Chain A
Amino acid sequence: MSTDTTILTYITTEIATGDEPVDRETDLLLTGLVDSIGVMRIVEWLETTHEIEIHPADVILENFQTVAAMAAFVEQRLDTASD
């Protein structure tokens, strides 16, 4: 599965479990689909799943606003790690 599909699955089954539909481009922060505890859980899950370490300075709004942004951030981290 691609990075964004796994992230989307995780978000919809574990974090944003309400009725509102979520896709790759949904703004997860605007309506409170993901709160501050949700952010921490996502970071922890990304670190475990992808065996990466995410520095607090990278846990910023721009990297977590949408599933697509998270996937881009993780892929960039994986690319850097494999260089």
Chain B
Amino acid sequence: MQLLSQLLYHDRIDFGAPAVTDGRRSLDYGELIDRSGRLAAAFVDAGIRPGDCVAIHVRKSVDSMVAVHASLQAGAIYVPLDPMAPVSYLATLVHDCATRVLVSDASGAVLADLVEQTDLDVVIGPDQAPATSRCIPWAAVGELDAREPVALVDDDPAYIIYTSGSTGTPKGILHTHASGLAYAKLAASTYGLRPGDRLANIAPLHFDQSTFELFAAPFAGSSVVMVPEPVLRFPASLTELVEREQITVWYSVPYLLIQVLQRGALDQRDLRRLRWVLFGGEVFPPGLLAELMSMWPHARFSNVYGPAEVNQCMYFHLDEPPIDLGAVPIGRAWADTEVAIVDDDGQVVEAGTSGQLLVHTSTMMDRYWNRPGLTDGSIRVRSTSTGGTGRWYATGDQVVERPDGNLVFLGRADNQVKIRGHRVELEAVEAALLDLDGVADAAVVGAGPDELIALIVPRGPVDHRELLVTLGARLPKYSVPTGIAEVASLPRTATDKIDRRAARELLPETP
């Protein structure tokens, strides 16, 4: 197998085995192949040719799994859109990837606004779409003849994950069939995935963690249990789902596991089927991790590391709760992967010295979509251990190697923060604030875990609530600050950049 589009077409696939369920509907592998083949036919019918983008604007469901695999089989690049994000934000992504075809489960005003603000010609899924676009309802998709996957090569583009960009414009991370499939293989072998495993798809489609379940489960013949978005807001409902669906493998951000620990009614749940818990995307406070691990002694835990540009690339397995309360390491590189810790001049640092982490791996992205400057800035061509040269991704993450060979994450060199696992470039939020009428200058700082505070220099009297509501209509919810503080002016460095450390000092009290 060389392509992501072949994930449903390999010898180990058992047509009768469960492939995906969302609690309302379930498909076995035979049905998943049939439905994704029909949707692939609809894409072709809609004018999609290999290398074109298809936007997927669908909540986690049987349909989201079908849409991803149909896109791959049609040779399209799938672009997942956050169903909860404001339409104006989604419209910038649709423009950026120049897609004319959308799969959506939206209706009414959201769909109408999205079509109006973009060049979308075809909407697949809804029974009705705005008059300016052609509509292909699910019922019509079901009447098409299923298509076989189109012929592709392994460095053909497969999907784009958008993430916060420091200029204020989101950047698209383009992965190929090769990098996606390498991830599926490594995930399946590292975590011993097999038929009978039931993987909870917790991360939404637009969050790169979701490719773990979407790709590795079919590779291993395991099944995917889609966790509906509303369930994630209720830790006790989530643990009830994990028990009912007999989940064996869990992958999420620590935030969600902490919610489960604190509010998941764990004393009333039997979760002994859970055999492996993976967490990543941000730091898990070791005390809370130890507490959760003692509640679930039957499960192995792993801290996984990897920016979306490289999928996963490192892991640290924990068989026992951490005893010392130092940071949990991000561990070591997995197979087909090399890492290097370098100083500002790109020289490998001495053992025990901190530096930037560079990664060379088979799971690495091809490039940033339409952003050659950004791509050049983040990819280094360096020698590899095999004697040749290769492309290395410069993560921007500062790390240090422990004497035992495990790496520890220390922080960022730039202004990227993580909010419940989501990457947020503080500059992007500041750019959105500066776009607002009442704001003359703005700085955004982290304030405690998972919280951003905006410091603004107002232009006349400003209604803070109104400002935040306007911002909420332009940015994904996790990147909207929770509070605003007014200041007379913002501290700047000698090079006229905002001095965020000094700005934070201006806050009345920092938790």
Contacts and interface: CB of A to CB of B under 8 A. Distances in A.
A59 B469 contact: no
Nearest to B109: A20
A34 B234 CA distance: 11
6 contacts: A18-B469, A29-B229, A29-B230, A58-B236, A60-B237, A62-B237
A59 B229 contact: no
Interface in B464-482: 465, 469, 472-473, 477
Interface of B: 83-84, 110, 229-237, 240, 259, 262-265, 268, 465, 469, 472-473, 477
A63 B74 CA distance: 42
Nearest to A43: B263
A35 B233 contact: yes
Nearest to B477: A35
A18 B473 contact: yes
A48 interface: no
Contact of B233 (A17, A18, A31, A39): A39
Nearest to B466: A17
B477 A32 contact: yes
A56 B236 contact: yes
Q: Which 8 A-B residue pairings sit nearest by Cβ, starting from the closest?
A: A29-B230, A57-B265, A32-B84, A56-B263, A36-B233, A61-B237, A60-B237, A61-B234
Contact of B465 (A17, A39, A58): A17
Main secondary structure of the interface of A (DSSP, over half): loop
Contact of A36 (B110, B232, B264, B473): B232
A30 B230 contact: yes
Contact of A32 (B229, B231, B235, B265): B229
Given A18-B469, A19-B473, A56-B263, 7 more contacts: A56-B265, A60-B234, A60-B236, A60-B240, A61-B233, A62-B237, A64-B234
A35 B472 CA distance: 13
Contacts of B268: 57
Interface of A: 17-19, 29-32, 34-36, 38-39, 55-62, 64-65
Given A36-B232, A39-B234, A59 B477 contact: no
Nearest to B233: A36
A32 B69 CA distance: 26
A19 B87 CA distance: 13
Nearest to A20: B109
A21 B63 CA distance: 28
A57 B473 contact: no
A62 B84 CA distance: 20
Contacts of A17: 465, 469
Given A32-B477, A59-B236, A61-B234, A18 B229 contact: no
A60 to B, nearest CB: 5
A36 B234 CA distance: 7
Contacts of A59: 234-236, 263
A29 B237 CA distance: 13
Contacts of A62: 237
Contacts of B234: 39, 59-61, 64
A18 B473 CA distance: 8
Contacts of A56: 235-236, 262-265
Contact of B259 (A36, A57, A61): A36
Contact of A29 (B83, B233, B262, B477): B233
A34 B469 CA distance: 14
Nearest to B231: A61
Contacts of B229: 29, 32
Contacts of A38: 233
A31 B84 contact: yes
Nearest to A17: B469
A43 to B, nearest CB: 9
Which of B229, B234, B262 has the most chain A CB atoms closer than 10 A to its own CB?
B234
A62 B110 CA distance: 25
A9 to B, nearest CB: 16
B236 A57 contact: yes
A39 B84 CA distance: 16
A35 B259 CA distance: 13
A32 B472 CA distance: 12
